[in-house]
């Protein structure tokens, strides 16, 4: 059976798209590789820091990875550093950040890492967490003492 030039071109383009979806990254610290994208799933292996991995896909706060075609699993996003940082909409450089502060330009946010529309729509209120946050409220007197201690110039609240 011979492969036509059109079929060969299609196979080549498909292989390029698969290759383009994978990004190289390194582990930031010793990283457990989980069987599924859940913290309660079984740990398949532990990768040492600075291990090169291929990122296959993202699911919430997890990356599906493979390592030298011998290991496949899921790692937490915060344990990974991309070899070359991909730019997304809303990410700005230091120069643009400073311009937005001084020039009055607004910037857009990229959202909270690890949350998607489904997890936000299925969220449940947690009154106990709100009560916990209430414990961090400071009084104007405490704020002024902090400003004075740090020798800061602060506006009155």
- Of 3.20.20.70, 2.40.10.10, 2.30.30.40, 3.40.50.2300, which CATH number belongs to 22-82? 2.30.30.40
pLDDT of residue 57: 92
SS (H, E, C) 106-121: CCCCCCCCCCCHHHHH
pLDDT of residue 70: 85
pLDDT of residue 17: 47
Domain residue ranges in the chain: 22-82
More reliable by pLDDT, 140 or 155: 140
pLDDT tens-digit series, residues 7-55: 666 555 555 444 455 789 999 999 999 999 999 999 999 999 999 999 9
Mean pLDDT of the chain: 77
pLDDT tens-digit series, residues 69-93: 788 999 999 999 987 655 554 454 5
Helices (H), the chain: 5-21, 94-103, 117-121, 127-134, 140-149
SS percent in the chain: helix, strand, coil, step 5: 35, 25, 45
Using a cut of 0.85, tell me whether the model's pTM lies above it: no
């Amino acid at each position: 059976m011979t492969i036509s030039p059109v079929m060969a071109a299609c196979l080549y383009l498909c292989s390029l798209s698969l290759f383009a979806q994978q990004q190289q990254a390194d582990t930031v610290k010793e990283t457990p590789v989980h069987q599924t994208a859940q913290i309660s799933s079984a740990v398949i292996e532990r990768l040492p820091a600075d291990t090169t991995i291929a990122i296959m896909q993202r699911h919430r706060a997890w990356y599906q990875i493979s390592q030298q075609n011998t290991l496949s699993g899921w790692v937490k996003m915060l344990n990974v550093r991309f070899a070359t940082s991909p730019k997304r909409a809303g990410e700005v450089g230091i120069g643009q950040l400073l311009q937005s502060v001084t020039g009055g330009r607004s910037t857009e946010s990229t959202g909270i890492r690890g949350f998607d529309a489904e997890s936000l729509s299925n969220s449940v209120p947690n009154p106990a967490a709100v009560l916990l946050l209430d414990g961090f409220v400071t009084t104007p007197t405490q704020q002024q003492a902090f400003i004075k201690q740090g020798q800061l110039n602060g506006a009155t609240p």
